[in-house]
Structure 1
Amino acid sequence: MTVSDRYFGSTPPSRGKDIAHDIDFTPVEAADGAIIPLRITAHQPCPACATRTDEKAARACTTCRGEGRLIREQHTYKVRIPAGIKDGQKVRIRELGGPGKHGGAPGDLYVTVHVIG
């Protein structure tokens, strides 16, 4: 075991959760492949209106503008989609999923491609 393999605390490192995402492609992009920007957004419940039972009051919330959630973090990645991908096919992109705990590896991102047009 090297120093970089160590963790501190009572809980060992664990891998993060996998995330699934859908993207739309044109037939040309699907045939030729593409490098695309892919934005992943993580949300959290709005602290101002999450506990409100009155639906009208929640819709009028000025903190979240009636959505009931706030953006916690947002990342944009450039990902390569291989040439010849088919409608409905999934692509696994390693380690762009949820963060691992206590130094564990992040999960994977599974992108489902939809060919439109």
Structure 2
Amino acid sequence: MRVRAHKPCPACATRTDEKTARSCTTCEGEGRLIRWQRTYQVRISAGIRDGQKARLRELGGPGKHGGAPGDMYVTVHVIR
């Protein structure tokens, strides 16, 4: 599973013309850049359907007051 955090593209965020923003070479027209990326190896239970939510234990961010990492809930997209 790949987790990404994005930030707005500084090159095309200030452009008002939509055509110019789509032709931006920095973000390739997406309008955002990857700020950081992490890859986790997780096991998804058999029989999960497309669009179903799954809970991944202890992969979420720390609690409000700096406690242990919590659970991360993800929506699974099955690609065959």
User: What TM-score do the two structures reach when normalised by structure 2?
Assistant: 0.70
Residue matched to 2:8? 45
Structure with the larger helix share: 1
Question: What amino acid maps onto 1:75 in structure 2?
Answer: R
Query: 1:1-41 CA distances to partner (integer Å, 9 max, x unpaired)?
Result: xxxxxxxxxxxxxxxxxxxxxxxxxxxxxxxxxxxxx1112
Percent identity, aligned pairs only? Answer: 77
Q: Answer yes or no: is 1:79 the counterpart of 2:42.
A: yes
Alpha-carbon spacing, 1:111–1:48, altered in 2? closer, same or farther (3 Å): same
- Which stretches in structure 1 are left out of the alignment for 5+ residues? 1-37
User: Higher RCO, 1 or 2 (CA under 8 Å, sep at least 6)?
Assistant: 1
Structure with the larger strand share: 1
- Aligned alpha-carbon RMSD (Å): 2.7
Picking from 20, 42, 45, the partner of 1:57 is 20
